[in-house]
Structure 1
């Protein structure tokens, strides 16, 4: 089993949580079986413990970019602005200075504005990051999710990451581009399912305690094996450790062609 990579902005050593052991019981669903296999291939970890506002900032930085680009931006931001109440500090930050700090993350004008606005909203409603952190950890998860989604720039994946990595809420399976692609390609969700529908299927079929590492391990699987344009299965069944669990929707192994699962269904 591999160690979770530090560059995984959603997890890694700085992501909070602890290594966990789960009973290798017989899976009740194919989605659970896939997650169990991912746990054997990568890691099994119970998440939680990350500061809620910093987690929100990290996830905003990671939007539409890679960890390679967003991690340095996060490090630069923390070097410049940490040391006090981060939410209060960012609420009063000069946008031009913040833009300069997070340039490596891309879309820096948009992200800097989103972070300053989010910080101001959190300070105005909660008084600062400590009270916001308590709210995320202690309030009803659906209430927290709904409130997070009211913040400009916070979508379902960002809200779910805050719930998972800060609140440590079981049963939360954030859906990014990797999870969305893999779940539909493998047949764990309908080929034309949107991100929210994929989340509903995964959270229904994967036990609550396995959703967290299922999310991060599936992202790593997407980076290493189930890539968008050239999945490992095109090199033969032996090239993919999850080949026997996958329906390969949108993949033609003979023609060595790949389309989005939704396109494959539309063409039938």
Structure 2
């Protein structure tokens, strides 16, 4: 099994190692995740601070980890504090309180490397204010994410301005450690439809529904992070590895290659290939 790459893969850099059974897949989507488990790593997720996970995911919207990670680090240096503790409930310093009180122009400058910094700073301050009002701060919000029913948590997250399905699912996965959550980003959306794991016309939510139905709960979080890495290394948007021949892609035999013409070496979005 390959080593996990050093880049931050959707917050999976400090996840715990895990092992799940492979070889008895009940669906093609599960077989794909099993193959990714042989190609990359097998991890289980959870344990991150819920509000920090929310902030990190907002920062990652419409940008890469290369850009969003420095913004996150700068934000934590400016507004975080080592004396904040989730485990013992101490609230000497609360990140949500600090960001709710932040001056937007200062926060925007702090996170400028992430792009769309004016919009993201508004979202972060608004989310912090909402969380302070409803949960008393980051500690209460973390408890809510970990202890309440996933559906209730997801609904509450989606009711926060700037939080979409992918952001909500990442908080459920990386903070709540919830099984059966398969966040869908651009890579997952493209790959699932290209491979035929979801309909070509499926939007992000429909892709999520198909993957969560077809992949066992304990494999969903890993499937999300590994599929992102696979999309970066093999199944890119413009030049997927299969254009170099079947041997170039480790998942070739599992893939319908919707929108990929290996003869003409052209690639279109699956929805365009499927037509009306």
Deviation at 1:10, TM superposition (A): 1.4
Deviation at 1:11, TM superposition (A): 2.9
Per the alignment, residue 216 of structure 2 pairs with 207
- Which segment is superposed worse, 180-189 or 20-29? 20-29
The alignment's TM-score, normalised by the length of structure 2, stands at 0.94
Aligned counterparts, 1:1-268, within 5 A = 1-14=1-14, 17-83=15-81, 84-266=93-275
Size of the alignment, in residue pairs? 265
Deviation at 1:59, TM superposition (A): 0.2
Deviation at 1:13, TM superposition (A): 2.7
Residues 12-68 of structure 1 deviation map (CA, whole Å, 9 limit, x = unaligned): 334xx3100112241000000000000111111110000000000000000000000
RMSD of aligned Cα (Å): 1.0
Secondary structure class of the residue paired with 1:189: coil
For 1:45 and 1:81, the matched residues in 2 are separated by 30
Q: Which runs of 4+ in 1 moved over 4 A?
A: none
- Which segment is superposed worse, 228-237 or 4-13? 4-13
- Which segment is superposed worse, 62-71 or 19-28? 19-28
For 2:68 and 2:108, the matched residues in 1 are separated by 13
For 1:9 and 1:102, the matched residues in 2 are separated by 19
The alignment's TM-score, normalised by the length of structure 1, stands at 0.97
Kept in 2, the 8 Å contact 1:250–1:260? The answer is yes
For 1:233 and 1:25, the matched residues in 2 are separated by 23
Secondary structure class of the residue paired with 2:208: helix
Kept in 1, the 8 Å contact 2:182–2:208? The answer is yes
Give the direction of change, closer, same or farther, for the CA distance of 1:6–1:132 in structure 2 (3 Å limit). farther
Unpaired stretches in structure 1, ≥5 consecutive residues? none
For 2:164 and 2:265, the matched residues in 1 are separated by 35
Kept in 1, the 8 Å contact 2:12–2:174? The answer is no
Kept in 2, the 8 Å contact 1:5–1:12? The answer is no
For 1:183 and 1:39, the matched residues in 2 are separated by 16
Secondary structure class of the residue paired with 1:59: helix
Secondary structure class of the residue paired with 2:235: coil
